[in-house]
Amino acid sequence: MNSRNPISCGSYEVTLKNVEKVPPLIIKSSVYKFEPQPVSPEIEEKAKNELRETVEIIDQALAEMRTYLKDEPDLNVPDDDYFFAKFLRPCKWHAKPAFDLMKRFYRFRINHPRYCENLLPVNEHVTFSSGVLMSFPLRSKDGCRVVLVRGGKIWKPKEVSLDQIFRGLMLLLDAAIVEPTTQVCGIRVILDMDGLSLSHVTYFTPSFAGAVLEWVQKCLPARLKGVHIINQPYIFNMVFAIFKPFIHEKLRKRVIFHGTDKAGLKSYIGAQALPQKYGGDLDLPLEQVGEPLWNYLNQFHEEFEESSKLGYTKKN
């Protein structure tokens, strides 16, 4: 981020130091590592071309964000350029939409405590250890963080609820959106529905679908580049029918149904970043990811805890 005189409260620098202290997670030949470092020259050029990211625009947007924040005294967030960038980049450095996004993001936390309260890795062990949710160690060919949700036969709803899966997803994306490269390039989500059954379908409700899509479409400060649905059986139509009324046109265009077409999925993700199970070259046994990934996330407990304290002052 090329601000002339970046203002920082120090938390970004602390995170950078902590990342250097925490050993990367290695599973076979794959290396997981949280990446809060500044963007590369290549990604910097992408930010300039796609997000209007120039020194002049950055400095103007940051000044406007601070002006808006003065009129929102109940919103507790750091006076920090790196923090503001998390909301400004998805809005292409337009300050008013970015500030509105910030308000929606933190209002969601207040309005939906069942999904957001005490949202820390230490509290979500069951979800990650079950293997229903994980990120991939490598980025897609367009630089996106890739998150996998397995909602079919591997998902045991009596052991891991939909609420828990949603909470785990929020945790993973909370970490991802701190990464400057992810802020610029975006996120791709893969939903593997292999083995989805009628017993699974009965757990989905309109209220859950509405909450998830409110968060994804209105509150998530990220460039969601694609939702890739794979291995979906015919019965998945019943699940999609529950979500469909809440899906806006922008997201609808980014939902891709691949079925069993591995080549189609690979064309978006790239062979290097895609596990062999899904037609790529990455030697990553998915059943070995969950527990180690949870342990890795726990190494950043302090960062997650500080993040959870931000937002609107709770009203009694």
Q: Which amino acid is at 83?
A: F
E strand intervals along the chain: 25-27, 30-32, 75-76, 133-135, 145-150, 187-192, 224-230, 255-259, 311-312
Structural domains of the chain, count: 1
Q: What is the rounded distance in angstroms from the CA atom of residue 225 to the CA atom of residue 223?
A: 6
* Arithmetic mean of pLDDT, 250-258: 98
Q: What is the rounded distance in angstroms from the CA atom of residue 47 to the CA atom of residue 58?
A: 11
Q: What is the rounded distance in angstroms from the CA atom of residue 139 to the CA atom of residue 248?
A: 26
CA nearest neighbour of 206 among 250, 244, 262: 244
The pLDDT score that the predictor gives to residue 159 is 98
- Given a cut of 60, is residue 309 above it in pLDDT? yes
> What digits encode the pLDDT tens for the residues 176-191?
999 999 999 999 999 9
> What digits encode the pLDDT tens for the residues 103-117?
999 999 999 999 999
- Given a cut of 80, is residue 170 above it in pLDDT? yes
Mean pLDDT, rounded, of the chain: 96
Q: Are strands 145-150 and 311-312 parallel, antiparallel or unpaired?
A: unpaired
Is 11 in contact with 78 (CB distance < 8 Å)? yes
Q: What is the rounded distance in angstroms from the CA atom of residue 84 to the CA atom of residue 53?
A: 14
Position 8 confidence tier, pLDDT thresholds 50, 70, 90: confident
The pLDDT score that the predictor gives to residue 305 is 96
* Arithmetic mean of pLDDT, 134-142: 98
* Arithmetic mean of pLDDT, 11-22: 90
* Arithmetic mean of pLDDT, 257-271: 98
Is 277 in contact with 271 (CB distance < 8 Å)? no
- Given a cut of 90, is residue 314 above it in pLDDT? no
Q: In sequence order, what are the beta bridge partners of 31?
A: 26
The pLDDT score that the predictor gives to residue 316 is 42
What is the distance of C-alpha 119 from the center of its chain? 14
Alpha carbon distances (Å) from 93 to 9, 47, 56, 305: 21, 10, 11, 27
The pLDDT score that the predictor gives to residue 162 is 98
The pLDDT score that the predictor gives to residue 14 is 87
176 CB-near residues (< 8 Å, 6+ apart): 135, 145, 147, 182, 187, 222
Q: What percent of the chain has pLDDT over 90?
A: 93
The pLDDT score that the predictor gives to residue 5 is 65
Point out the least confidently predicted range of 17-26, 260-269, 271-280. Answer: 17-26
The pLDDT score that the predictor gives to residue 3 is 59
200 CB-near residues (< 8 Å, 6+ apart): 151, 152, 155, 157
* Arithmetic mean of pLDDT, 163-183: 98
Alpha carbon distances (Å) from 100 to 57, 94, 312: 18, 10, 13
What is the distance of C-alpha 171 from the center of its chain? 8
The pLDDT score that the predictor gives to residue 224 is 98
Counting Cβ atoms within 10 Å, is residue 148 exposed (0-12), middle (13-18) or buried (19+)? buried
Position 9 confidence tier, pLDDT thresholds 50, 70, 90: confident
- Given a cut of 50, is residue 207 above it in pLDDT? yes
Q: What is the rounded distance in angstroms from the CA atom of residue 277 to the CA atom of residue 280?
A: 7
Q: What angle do CA 244, 220, 273 make, to 5 degrees?
A: 85
Position 1 confidence tier, pLDDT thresholds 50, 70, 90: low
Q: Which amino acid is at 25?
A: L
Q: What is the rounded distance in angstroms from the CA atom of residue 311 to the CA atom of residue 300?
A: 20
Position 175 confidence tier, pLDDT thresholds 50, 70, 90: very high
Structural domain boundaries, residue 206: 1-316
The CATH number linked to 36 is 3.40.525.10
Query: What global pTM score does this model have?
Result: 0.96
Helix (H, G, I), strand (E, B) or coil at 79: coil
The pLDDT score that the predictor gives to residue 7 is 82
- Given a cut of 80, is residue 315 above it in pLDDT? no
> What digits encode the pLDDT tens for the residues 34-68?
999 999 999 999 999 999 999 999 999 999 999 99
